[in-house]
Amino acid sequence: MDRYPGGLLYSVPATCEEVDIGHRVLVPLGRGNAEVPGTVVDRLGSEALAEDGVTADRIKPIIRRSDDLPALPGELLELARWIASYYVCPIGITLANLVPAAVRKGVGTATRLLISPHPTPPDPRPRLGSKQRAVLDAVLATPTEDLPIASTDLAERTGVGGTATVRRLAELGLLSIETVTTVEARARAGSGLEDREVELNAGQQAAVEAIGSHLEGGFSSHLLFGVTGSGKTEVYLRLARRVIEAGRRVLFLVPEIALTPQTTARVLARFPGAAAAVLHSGLTAAQRHREWRRVADGDATIILGARSAVFAPVPDGTLGLVVVDEEHDASYKQDQAPRYHGRDAAIRRAQLAGCPVVLGSATPALESWHNATRTGRSHLHRLPERAPGLSLPKIEIVDFAEERRQLERGGARLIGPRLGGEIARTLSAGGQVILLLNRRGYANYIACPDHRCGWVMTCTDCDAGMICHQANGAIARERWVRCHHCDAQLRLPPTCPLCSKRTTVFGLGTQRVEEDLARLHPDLARAGAMVRVDSDAMGGADDFHEVLDRFRTGEIRLLAGTQMIAKGLDFPGVRLVGVVNADTALNMPDFRAGERTFQLVSQVVGRCGRGSTAGTAIIQTLQPDAPAIRRAAEHDFEGFAERELADRDRFGLPPARRMCRIVVRDGGESAAMRLGTELADRLRAHDPGPDVEIRGPIPCSIARIAGRYRVQVETLAKDAGTASRFLARARLGGVFTGPLALGEAVAIDVDPTSLM
């Protein structure tokens, strides 16, 4: 069925009970007609079939409806169809993403057998065995107010039971039985936060009123642009309450629950108890299943979750508001098929449900800014001031090249005198410190000290340098090298393989920052008041939350880590934020490098100044004049965005045009290039027209990962509609067939956010 990539066509026999979109059915598959479950994604009339050139008598009929899952809401199915078609992903894979595995497998499902005496038992009573008699007597002796009684309760109370016996008695017409399915799960943890109702400031009030006036008006799209700490969450929560009071549901998306525990806690504190459902990977499978069922049954009024919560099975016609917090966050984009963007899927979902969507950020994605300021597709609402009692930090840019020249040779320290001095001052004045370095490990260069030799250690399977890691723990100074692309790991080679000189390691890494800090503040390190936070140091979300708790109580004075600590944390004791090196993101070969740097610097800087005293932020950089860094230091998103959008216009890059990136992979270098050439040729043969540019093939920035060569072809189209129509034409015209079939070797990414 070409309308839905990967979909199959079946007929519905007249004898079959009503089958509709979203229903689960059993169908015969393949030559052996194996019975498999499926989901109805669409119903086509004879006209549509004729259009597709299909004759009805050649289609296999479905076997019957299946009740393994409740029917999916039609709005959700429509979203799935949009994702399959827009992101060019087989509908089966899309649907598999839609319903969590725990739900498909029915984890935690408990079936209870409820028993009561039959109202009209046969007379005379048939002959019964002794066990049957005992069970029947026990049911008849049960007080009326306890009926129907669950088979387990009966067994517990009377010592008799057994479902086989009960079922036999029901067959004999002596008992009535009913089975009830529930999902049992340990209660999820509460928020542990006390709700604090605040009085809205003028900006918040205006935003609530302006967006609030659209709540009954069908679909509308809003961008809530407010500096960090301007009280965006409070705006979402007020709107949410209005929607819930009007009897509708709210879908609230956050980047990653594990990294945004405070937002989650605030939402749960405002809407406690049964009203909220949380969908995220930190739950047990049974909990996830139960939360999903509660949403499907219409029991949850506010549904909170990360990217995939956009697929929450909210009953049709009940969704009243969709919120996407920190809408610029990279984690909204899924990096495997379907490669959908959670924000864009959320906008689509709101459109299908006919309700408003609110995107919020201090550093909106330029796509969203473009829509709010240039195309009129969404309404812009500004929160220009921080919430009462909060002030913007004073930001200072330190030219690290200059500082390094002043440091003694061989020192190669990562923390210069300006930042180091401020850390010491802040700590001795009782303040807390957050330090950001967006690179894990100890050092990112492993090389020969002799320039004439020039050996640099790279991964044998990837075109990428190896990263040096140090074993955790103070005593074991064991060093390893690891590839961050294929996870290969080796012991650090002690000498250069070419000239046998002692290997040196240099460059940046969070472990090295930790080492520098421990040298500067040994007492703090010994007392455990200084903690490194990155995915290597934190075993899981629980470790991270424990560290945050200890930071909140003041036991931890300094946090140093990757972007894990840049997001959404709100601690009044933080007086200083340091960015160890703002260049790490800036030097990426990606047209969004500037945008990312701006976001990262603004977000981490926003972590301070939340208490009564204004904070300070110090940014070390080798490029003190880079606009992304300058403008972030001036809290000037609008100035940055204007300049950046002008550049994107000039080079025809998103959001000025829509990009699609197709990567082909092969073990052989020339074979990969041949595949890329074939792909570009086929695409060019499908009438791209003047509004679609096809670029490539060219090797990807990382030309080889895990032994496979990577070549990319990009298409740039005038707008989303043009892009989508061209890709549909290419797909239906057979571009992605044979050696170019989408899958392991060929990956398509519509609106890509990562270009490595």
Q: Is-contact 595 364, C-beta < 8 A?
A: no
For the beta carbon of residue 101, count every other beta carbon within 10 angstroms. Answer: 11
User: Looking at 5, 148, 226, 507, which residue binds ligand ADP (CB under 6 A)?
Assistant: 226
Stretch that binds ligand ADP, among 95-103, 230-238, 473-481, 528-536 (CB under 6 A): 230-238
Stretch that binds ligand ADP, among 8-16, 28-36, 196-204, 504-512 (CB under 6 A): 196-204
What are the backbone dihedrals phi and psi of residue 476, each rounded to the nearest 5 degrees, phi first?
Answer: -70, 105
User: Which 3 state secondary structure label does DSSP give 382?
Assistant: strand
Q: Is-contact 659 693, C-beta < 8 A?
A: no
Q: For residue 514, what are the contacts with CB-CB under 8 A and spacing of at least 6?
A: 530, 532, 560
| Residue 189 partner contact from Zn ion, ligand ADP, none using kind-dependent CB cut-offs of 5 to 8 Å | none
| Residue 198 partner contact from ligand ADP, Zn ion, none using kind-dependent CB cut-offs of 5 to 8 Å | ligand ADP
Tokens representing 578 are 């340091």
User: Looking at 97, 132, 176, 204, which residue binds ligand ADP (CB under 6 A)?
Assistant: 204
Applying CB under 5 A, which residues contact Zn ion?
448, 453, 455, 459, 461-462, 483, 485-486, 488, 496, 498-499
CB of 274 vs ligand ADP, minimal distance in Å: 24
| Residue 461 partner contact from ligand ADP, Zn ion, none using kind-dependent CB cut-offs of 5 to 8 Å | Zn ion
Segment 233-292, which members bind ligand ADP (CB under 6 A)? 233-234
Q: Is-contact 580 514, C-beta < 8 A?
A: no
Q: Give the separation between CA 257 and CA 134, rounded to whole angstroms.
A: 53
Over the range 326-339, which residues count as b (16 or more CB within 10 Å of their CB) and which as e?
Answer: bbbbebbbbeebbb
CB of 235 vs ligand ADP, minimal distance in Å: 8
User: Which 3 state secondary structure label does DSSP give 64?
Assistant: strand
CB of 566 vs ligand ADP, minimal distance in Å: 12
Strand-strand pairing, 574-579 and 616-621: parallel
Stretch that binds ligand ADP, among 221-229, 243-251, 373-381, 704-712 (CB under 6 A): 221-229
User: Looking at 221, 228, 438, 722, which residue binds ligand ADP (CB under 6 A)?
Assistant: 228
| Residue 483 partner contact from Zn ion, ligand ADP, none using kind-dependent CB cut-offs of 5 to 8 Å | Zn ion
Residue with the shortest CB distance to ligand ADP = 231
Tokens representing 417 are 């005198």
Q: Give the separation between CA 285 and CA 287, rounded to whole angstroms.
A: 5
User: Which 3 state secondary structure label does DSSP give 511?
Assistant: helix
Q: Give the separation between CA 384 and CA 379, rounded to whole angstroms.
A: 16
User: Looking at 277, 321, 345, 387, which residue binds ligand ADP (CB under 6 A)?
Assistant: 387
Question: Is the CB of 55 or the CB of 553 nearer to ligand ADP?
Answer: 553
Stretch that binds ligand ADP, among 26-34, 223-231, 438-446, 505-513 (CB under 6 A): 223-231
Preceding omega of 697 cis (within 30 degrees of 0): yes
User: Which 3 state secondary structure label does DSSP give 516?
Assistant: helix
CB of 321 vs ligand ADP, minimal distance in Å: 17
Q: Is-contact 169 175, C-beta < 8 A?
A: yes
Q: Is 230 in the site for ligand ADP (CB under 6 A)?
A: yes
Tokens representing 20 are 């509709």
What are the backbone dihedrals phi and psi of residue 577, each rounded to the nearest 5 degrees, phi first?
Answer: -120, 130
User: Which 3 state secondary structure label does DSSP give 445?
Assistant: strand
- Over the window 389 to 408, marking each residue x when it contacts ligand ADP by CB under 6 A and - when it does not, the resulting string is -x------------------
- Over the window 553 to 592, marking each residue x when it contacts ligand ADP by CB under 6 A and - when it does not, the resulting string is -----------------x----------------------
Q: Is-contact 455 497, C-beta < 8 A?
A: yes
| Residue 623 partner contact from Zn ion, ligand ADP, none using kind-dependent CB cut-offs of 5 to 8 Å | none
CB of 489 vs Zn ion, minimal distance in Å: 10
DSSP 656: S
Q: Is-contact 284 185, C-beta < 8 A?
A: yes
Segment 30-69, which members bind ligand ADP (CB under 6 A)? none
In three-state form (DSSP H/G/I as H, E/B as E, the rest C), the secondary structure along 148-191 is: CEEHHHHHHHHCCCCHHHHHHHHHCCCEEEEEEEEECCCCCCCC
Query: What's the CA angle centered on 440, arms 407 and 493, to 5 degrees?
Result: 80
| Residue 378 partner contact from Zn ion, ligand ADP, none using kind-dependent CB cut-offs of 5 to 8 Å | none
Q: Count H helices and E strands in the chain, helices first.
A: 24, 28
CB of 541 vs ligand ADP, minimal distance in Å: 20
Q: Is 599 in the site for ligand ADP (CB under 6 A)?
A: no
* Helix or strand run (H / E) with residue 631: helix 627-633
Tokens representing 327 are 């809408």
Q: Is 198 in the site for ligand ADP (CB under 6 A)?
A: yes
| Residue 242 partner contact from ligand ADP, Zn ion, none using kind-dependent CB cut-offs of 5 to 8 Å | none
| Residue 232 partner contact from Zn ion, ligand ADP, none using kind-dependent CB cut-offs of 5 to 8 Å | ligand ADP
User: Looking at 232, 339, 592, 657, which residue binds ligand ADP (CB under 6 A)?
Assistant: 232
Stretch that binds ligand ADP, among 110-118, 197-205, 644-652, 704-712 (CB under 6 A): 197-205
For the beta carbon of residue 373, count every other beta carbon within 10 angstroms. Answer: 17
Query: How many residues at the interface with ligand ADP, by CB under 6 A?
Result: 17
CB of 199 vs ligand ADP, minimal distance in Å: 6
Stretch that binds ligand ADP, among 138-146, 225-233, 471-479, 641-649 (CB under 6 A): 225-233
Q: Give the separation between CA 133 and CA 135, rounded to whole angstroms.
A: 5
CB of 485 vs Zn ion, minimal distance in Å: 5
Q: Is 229 in the site for ligand ADP (CB under 6 A)?
A: yes
Helix 163-171, helix 130-140: angle, nearest 10: 80
Question: Is the CB of 229 or the CB of 416 nearer to ligand ADP?
Answer: 229
Residues that bind ligand ADP (CB under 6 A): 198-201, 204, 226, 228-234, 387-388, 390, 570
